[in-house]
Amino acid sequence: MQAGMDRLTAALGNGAPRGVIWRYAPYPQEKHSTIYHPAATAAIRALFPPVP
């Protein structure tokens, strides 16, 4: 599965359309049944940063 992610992140890194902002954060300590909560929390915090 990691090889596929490596190809995807390389493709996005080399050819993402102008204006597209993306990020990849590996969670090697998580598994399918535990990844949602930490990944969703990080995604929401990235999309909606705290207002100072």
Cα–Cα distance for residue pair 2/14, rounded to 1 Å: 18
The tokens describing 35, both together, are 């990844």
Is there a contact between 16 and 8 (Cβ–Cβ < 8 Å)? no
Q: Name every residue whose Cβ is closer than 8 Å to that of residue 35 and which is 6 or more positions away in sequence.
A: 27
Is there a contact between 25 and 39 (Cβ–Cβ < 8 Å)? yes
What does the pLDDT profile of the chain (52 residues) look like in tens digits? 889 989 989 988 888 888 888 888 999 999 999 999 999 999 999 999 988 8
* pTM of the full structure: 0.67
